[in-house]
Structures are given as C-alpha cells and as structure tokens.
Amino acid sequence: MASGRRCGIGWGVAGLMAALLSCAGAGSALAAHDSPVSVVPADRLDQPWWAQRHRDVLEQVRAHPDAPLLLIGDSITHNYEKSDPPDEDFLPTWRTFYGARDALNLGFSGDGTQHVLWRLANGEVDGLHPKVAVVLVGTNNTGWLEQSAEQTQLGIDAVVAALEQKLPDARILLLGLLPSDLSAQKSARDAEVNRYLAERYGDNPRVTYLDVGPVFVREGRLDTARFYDTRFTPAAGALHPDTLGQRWLAEAIEPTLARLLGEAPRVPMAELGTAFNTALIPVPWLEQDSYDWHARHRGALAAARRIAPEVVMIGDSITHFWAGPPRGTRASGAESWQWLYGDRPVLNLGFGWDRTQNVLWRIRQGELDGLAPEWVVINIGTNNMTGTAHARASTPEETAAGVEAVVAQVRQRLPGAKLVLMGILPRGRHAADALRAPIRRTNQLLAARFARDPDVRWLDIGSRLLLADGTLPEALMPDATHPSELGYRIWAEALREVGIGAR
C-alpha cells in the first residue's frame, strides 16, 4: 500500500471500522488479502448519476441537520423517490411514513455494503443527529457483486459499526435481506445472512433486527407478483417490490419504527398490515406488562442450561402463570404443576402477552437451542385475536398460520421431541362473548391441520372448562382468561392422559 499502513488487521468490527474509515479518509486502498471487499469503502464515482446523487445527498444533509430519521441502503430504499404508476409509484408511501417525519433518503441503486461505507466516510451523515437510522443493504453483495454470505455479513456488520460510531445517539433498525428469486444460490446466501443477523443483533440495545420477508410469502412460496421486475419485457427475477409490495414493506416496518421513534404509528394499528400476516413476522416484546420481557428471555436461556428440561412448555401468560422455572411474576397453579410433574425438570417458556410472532422471535433467538426434551407443549394464539396500540388483531386464519409456523420451528429444532399442541382455551364468561367465535374458528382450522398428524398430539380441552350452556365458570377462570388452580388441574389431567407426567 502506498501509505505503508495495513488497515483492518487483527481488530474487531468496531476497531476495523475505525481503521477503514481512517483509510478511506486518507484515500488509501486495502490490499485484497487484508480484508474482504465488502468491508473496504469503495466509491462509484465513475458513474455520473451516482456522483451527482452523492453531491445532492450532501446538500440535503447540510440543509436538514435536524432530520430525525434516515433510510440507508440500495435501490429498494432509493425507489421511494419514484413516482411511475402503476408498478413503481412509491412517493405516496414515502410521504405517509417517512416524508411526514422529515426523513432523508440515503438509498443508492446498485450499492453494496462497501459503497455505503464509502458514503458514510465521505460526509453523508456528518452533522446529523437522527433518532433512528433504518438500514437495508446486502442484497447486491449476494447478487451482482457475487460475494459470499460471510462476506456480506461482515459488510453489514461494518455498516452498523460505522453508524454506531458516527451516530452515537441513534437507534439502528436493521432489516433482513428481502426474499428474491434470482437464483437458488442467492436465496440460500440471503437466508444464511439473515440467520446470522438475527443471532448477532437479537438482543442488542442499540440495534433492532427485523426480518419482514414473510410479508412477501404466500402459502410457503414467494409472491413474485409483488415485484415489478417480473413484469419487465423480457421478465426478470423478482427483486424489487412493486407499488403495493413497497407499501407492505413500509407497513411491516412501521410498528417497530414508531416504537423506536417514541411516537404513534403514522397509520392506525388496526389498519396496518391487513394485506399480510403479521402473526408470521418475528418480533420481540410488544406489550407493556407486569414483568421485564427481555429479562425473562435471558432467564429462560439460563434456566434451560441449568435444568436440562425433559418437558418444555411454550406459550403466553396462561402458561407463564402456571408455575415452574424461570420463576414468573405469579404462580396460579403450583399444586397442579407439582401433581403433574413432581421433580421432573420442566422449562416454562410462557411469556405474558405473547403472540405467535413473539414466540417465533424467542425460538429464533435460542430458547430451544441445545435442548433435548422428551415433550414439548405449545399453547399460543389467544393474544393474536386482541388488537392493541402495538399490534393489530389477527384473523382466525392468520392466527392458525402463526401457530403452524411455531409448530414448524419446534419440529425443526427439536425433531426428537413428542409435541402436544393445545387448542386455544375459551375466553369470556358467556358463549356469546366476542372472542368465543374466533377462538372456535381458529381451533377448527388447527384441528383440520393437526388432528391427524402422527407427529403432533392435538389436545383441545375447551369443552372440559365450559358448562353445558357455554358459561366459563369463575372458579376455573376468575378473569375469564387465566385458569385458577382448579382450571390448571383440568389442563394437568389432560396432559397426563396423553402421557406426560411425573416419573
């Protein structure tokens, strides 16, 4: 190297980025053997449009130093500036979710992580103090730049590290790579990148990872109709969301983005994501409750290693409030738990207010990793049917799909375990109460899917909890949602009947 310095050797990501940014500022280049190209700042100034856009962005940065929100990435972000109906009319979505927040668009078509790094090192965030920076980059690394998943991961890590250094007060919303159908090889690399990002940033106080890829999947397959590339002549592989797909993308991001910004969503929660299934998008804590959700997650990870459970219970507050480790805020069924399990090691992965999307996040973040239980009991879905300021209500069809996704994840991670899937317990004191019909419909859908599945024991105990006229006795559920000791005893007896119990 002309400067005689070797940049990026032997450092962690933060140290590497400090050196890379220093080298970029000095005009130095890294030797190929020093670092992967994905982390070496590189410009595209030989392309006039790119050079002009960089100059324009610098002007925007100087003119709007108080911008509270940045969107950083490639063409999928750059596209928000297009107004070309019917397929590429993105300005209305921009105005609703980002323009109204005085956001800056730092998306450049075709960019990989190395190009974003150069732009960050050359003024594009200088002097800014945003609350949140949304980052969506990497698909070009695994695409036309032909980089490996590992190289792409390192590049994204470097972008995050650079933003952490340059914007020390900002929260970072890191999006997973969107699905495409350019090639099986690229899809495999993208999936590997997303798995890595989920693990690396799953519990980071400054970086929130969000994979909204399920938005574009229908019945297990990519919905290519929501990508405008497929309508080119000749048709190209799906890569860029079309007008409606980009709206879906913004709606899927909005609840998390609004929370990070500390403000209400730009669209009422009940109207967000109605075109896709939010029950399938893994997210962490959503609802304020009487306990520390993240602390319980960490406690569950520790308890799993400590007790080596023979039985794992997965669910929401109905499971959470039963008994067992990690210790919950209350134990409403300690006697029935002891009667059922005795001294058998059992892990309680019930989290108050959880929906299927929360369970999917927790599983992805390792709550089942390294376990070898004989039994897994799943009881989830009741909260999906309740809308709040943080999540919209799911339909029975969406809830059933979310439960099915949880079952699939458990099967994938614990293939040797015997699985019990509980029907959603009845709620409301009377048969005509609002939640009874959607619960009944959801259970019908789940029974149709799992009642004949040889690998799943379908167990619906709703009828055991109700009187002949459909009344839910207060003695069994004092608040018409959570069992009492007597109610938990009925659940315990049903689990013993299928073979779970004390040895």
**Residue 317 a catalytic site member:** yes
Question: What is d(CA 391, CA 286) in angstroms, rounded to the nearest whole number?
Answer: 7
Question: What is d(CA 88, CA 240) in angstroms, rounded to the nearest whole number?
Answer: 10
DSSP alpha helix (H) spans, 315-354:
317-320, 334-341
SS3 460: coil
Question: What is d(CA 373, CA 417) in angstroms, rounded to the nearest whole number?
Answer: 6
| Single-letter residue type at 113 | T
DSSP alpha helix (H) spans, 365-428:
396-413
Structure tokens at 248: 């879906």
**Residue 129 a catalytic site member:** no
Secondary structure, 3-state, 333-360: CHHHHHHHHCCCCEEEEECCCCCHHHHH
Left if phi > 0, otherwise alpha if psi is -120 to 50, otherwise beta: which for 381?
left
Q: What DSSP designation does 266 have?
A: S
Q: Spot the catalytic one: 54, 115, 240, 482.
A: 482
Q: Spot the catalytic one: 28, 38, 180, 317.
A: 317
Cβ neighbors of 498 (< 8 A, separation 6 or more) are 420, 457, 459
Question: What is d(CA 16, CA 27) in angstroms, rounded to the nearest whole number?
Answer: 16
Q: What distances in angstroms separate CA 285 from CA 54, 120, 275, 290, 469, one per listed residue?
A: 38, 31, 23, 12, 37
Q: Spot the catalytic one: 102, 126, 453, 479.
A: 479
Residues labelled as active-site residues: 317, 479, 482
